[in-house]
Homo-oligomer: A and B are copies of this chain.
Amino acid sequence: MTSTDNKKPRIVIIGCGFGGLEAARALSNADVDITLVDKTNHHLFQPLLYQVATAGLSAPAIAAPVRHLFRKQSNVTTLLGEVDSIDTEGRKVMLAEGHALPYDHLIVAAGATHSYFGRDDWAPHAPGLKTLQDAFEIRRRILVAFEAAEKEADPALRAAWLTFVVIGGGPTGVEMAGTLAEIARHTLPGEFRRIDPASARILLLEGGSRVLQAMPEDLSQRAKEQLEKLGVEVHLDSRVVAIDAATVEVQQGAGGAAKPLTLNSRCVIWAAGVAASPLGRQLAQTTNATTDRVGRIAVDADLTLPGHPEISVIGDLAAARSFAPGREPQAVPGVSPAAKQMGRTAAANILRRLAGKSSEAFRYRDYGNLATIGRNAAVVDLAALAGHFKFSGYFAWLFWLFAHIYFLIGFRNRLVVLIDWASAYWSKQRYARVVSDISARAPL
């Protein structure tokens, strides 16, 4: 599968999240021409995006310019551009402005976006958190809600401005709710003259029977207790059935026992649903590949598209399985370590094919799972260690902190984040309480 007329093999990588970045890095010594295309100019360290949304970190602290990351890897050309379509017959990636990027091998790592389960009319009232732009919008809504409460004379409206509803009890929802509680109880008190920010209600709504469902059950319970200690009202078995500019309608309880609940809130955050990038569905259609419920493409064992060994699909866009000797294939979770590992496997398989060897099946190594909840609170599940080591609370929080700083891209950012956090921890302040544009980008 080498290219024609003796040129170097051309590898195009779509997306510079954890998967795409790792794939390009794994090819650093290869005699190939890599084109890395992304619709933003930065790699985003998504696990800390909630910190930007909650004014704890500035955007540059968790975002590194892609072309700067690859400045010394001379086989990489970085392009800023939005992919319009993939011409799998002509082996070309078409960009929105009309540029064509021919490839011999393609890695599609276009990621995921949030999904409202068919209720896109909820989007303006309950923004999700995937991009920096999303984070700024959520930051704006949180800070403006407290400001509006300070100005509001009507007690019912004031209470609505001080009611924050987070929908979805996964890692993002837990982090958002915990941090909102911290802001209301620790950061803002003393700064307002007419309201008491500590009186804010923070509700976390989860449709299932426990938060953090990817974690062992006892850690879910521990997480719920820590959230409640921070002042979050955790509602399990609570399914949202309607959202508008002023209210969230919830059905509570399992099955026939469902009770309706109406929450008056002016700040609702969506952390419930994820869907693969639309590029996935388009690619699946043109190649007759199958997609799952959330739009991820079912890939072969070696992460390639069925019938297209020259196209690898990785990260949140792939419905991949892990093949470990002596075990049934297992579904791979949509987490950043899995995306990175898929990136390395896709790169290695391209090199194997270029060397005339056959590709290898993907094997996901699960080193564990961790989630933060707030100040001094987190849960850690180290599956890889003997005895399945689990812990929670202060030491889990420290572990989470250092793990995240360690994995942040680039020394510069790590130092800044560490200083920001140390300062935030001691002062209980949040560094980035800045809204650049007060006006709503979407109707409130």
Q: A71-B190, A191-B67, A193-B77 are in contact. Are A40 and B151 (CB under 8 A)?
A: no
| Cα–Cα, bound, A133→B441 (Å) | 13
Q: State the CA gap A232–B63 with chains docked (Å).
A: 30
Determine if B423 and A412 form an interchain contact, defined as CB atoms under 8 angstroms apart.
yes
Partner of A434, one of B63, B97, B415: B63
As for how many copies of this chain the complex holds, the number is 2
Report whether B80 and A434 are in contact in the complex, using a CB–CB cutoff of 8 Å: no
A183-220 interface with B by 8 A CB criterion: 190-194
Instruction: List CB contacts (< 8 Å) of A148-205 with chain B.
Output: 148, 150-151, 190-194
CB pair A143 B59 closer than 8 Å: no
Could you say which residues of chain B place their CB within 8 Å of the CB of A74?
Answer: 193
A42 at the interface (CB under 8 A from B): yes
Assess whether A432 is interfacial by the CB under 8 Å rule.
Answer: yes
Could you tell me if B436 and A133 are in contact, using CB atoms closer than 8 angstroms? yes
Give Cα distance in the complex from A439 to B419, angstroms: 32
Interface string of A93-108 (1 = CB under 8 A from B): 0010101000000000
Q: Are A433 and B68 in contact (CB under 8 A)?
A: yes
A434 contacts B132, C-beta separation under 8 Å: yes
Contacts A67-B191, A68-B191, A416-B419; A434 near B77 (Cβ below 8 A): no
- Within 8 Å CB of A289, what residues of B? none
Q: Is A30 an interface residue (CB 8 A)?
A: no
Write out the residue numbers on chain B whose beta carbons fall within 8 Å of the beta carbon of A39: 438
Task: List B contacts of A63 (CB < 8 A).
Answer: 434
Q: In the complex the two chains form, what is the Cα distance from A234 to B30 in whole Å?
A: 45
Whether the pair B41, A438 counts as a contact (CB closer than 8 A) is: yes
Residues of B within 8 A of A366 (CB): none
Q: Which residues of B contact A150 (CB under 8 A)?
A: 77-80
Contacts of A437 in B (CB 8 A): 132-133
Q: Mark A35-66, 1 if CB is under 8 A from B, else 0.
A: 00001111000000000000000111101010
With contact pairs A80-B438, A419-B416, A438-B80 given, residues A431 and B68 touching in the complex (Cβ less than 8 Å)? no
**CB < 8 Å neighbour of A432 from B60, B192, B194, B415:** B60
Q: Which residues of B contact A433 (CB under 8 A)?
A: 41-42, 60, 65, 68
Complex Cα spacing A270 to B170, Å: 46
Name the distance in Å between A423's Cβ and chain B's nearest Cβ. 6
Chain B nearest CB from A329 CB (Å) reads: 39
Bound CA span A433–B67, Å = 10
Contact between B438 and A40 (Cβ–Cβ < 8 Å)?
A: yes
Q: How far is the CB of A69 from chain B (nearest CB, A)?
A: 9
- A51 CB to closest chain B CB (Å) equals 12
Residues of B within 8 A of A432 (CB): 58-60
- Additional A-B contacts beyond A40-B438, A63-B434, A412-B427 (4; CB < 8 A): A41-B435, A59-B59, A80-B147, A416-B419
List 3 tightest A-B contacts by C-beta distance, closest first: A58-B58, A132-B436, A80-B147
Could you list 21 A-B pairs, sorted by A, with CB under 8 Å?
A: A39-B438, A40-B435, A41-B144, A41-B438, A58-B58, A58-B60, A58-B432, A59-B59, A60-B434, A65-B433, A68-B191, A70-B191, A78-B193, A79-B151, A80-B151, A131-B436, A132-B434, A133-B437, A412-B431, A416-B416, A416-B420
